[in-house]
Amino acid sequence: MEATGVAARFGEHRVFSGVNVTAATGAVTGITGPSGCGKTTLLRVLAGLHRPAAGEIRYDGAAAAPRGSLALLAQHPRLVCNPRWTLRRIVAEPAAIRGTQADIGDAVERVGLTAALLDRHPGQVSDGQLQRACLARMLVQRASYVLCDEPTAMLDPIATGDVVDVLREVGGTAAVVLVSHDAALVEALSDEVLPLSAAAVGH
């Protein structure tokens, strides 16, 4: 995934400009910066959820990522999960989109989510348990591009460790972009670190 000269605006307000990001397959690219510098907006631009005001994004040379090849791990899992679905259905969603049957057992085990929780709804589990379900869904998806927005911000230390372990594993096969204000986390996980405050002025 490669972003070149990307700028983002909300109306007349410029969030950032001149941003260049290259995320290689098999590596983790970390993006840091102070609150309000546009880290989440940049991730939304990379995900195709916010149209850039300038620049371009290429996915293995193509202007758009193939359907189902991009996964977004959000900071607030409750905002991206259907409250009427069970955790089992949430985890299996990528397979359902592909029209295949999913054996979610391995993914669930790898993120430390107990089988007893799978038939509960988001309102019946903690934020950490729901984020584990989102992490398992990402594994089931087998995405080529993985975008993570403060994925450990709401988690306890044990859940944070599980997320870090899985992201290390995913970073071996996918192009991963990790956005966080936690510089220590980014340094520990990333092969390359981009400070957005510097990139935003074209450095």
Say which CATH number the domain at 38 has: 3.40.50.300
CA dihedral sign, ordered 135, 32, 15, 20 = negative
62: DSSP letter: B
CA distance 100 to 45: 29
Helix/strand/coil for 163:
helix
* pLDDT reported for residue 188: 87
Domain limits at 13? 2-199
pLDDT tens series, the chain, 203 aa: 999 999 999 988 889 999 999 999 999 999 988 888 899 999 999 999 999 999 999 999 999 999 889 999 988 899 999 999 999 999 999 988 887 877 899 999 988 899 899 999 999 999 889 999 999 999 999 999 999 998 887 788 888 888 888 888 898 899 999 998 888 889 889 999 988 864 454 43
* pLDDT reported for residue 156: 81
Helix/strand number for the chain, H first, E second? 7, 8
* pLDDT reported for residue 195: 87
Rounded to 5°, angle at Cα 50 from 151 and 70 = 55
Q: How many domains does the chain have?
A: 1
Give Cβ neighbours of residue 41 (< 8 Å, ≥ 6 apart): 8, 15, 16, 50
- Edge-to-edge strands of the sheet including 175-179? 70-73, 145-149, 175-179, 27-32, 192-195
Strand 70-73 to 54-58 pairing: unpaired
CA dihedral 125, 119, 72, 44 (to 10 degrees): -60
* pLDDT reported for residue 200: 56
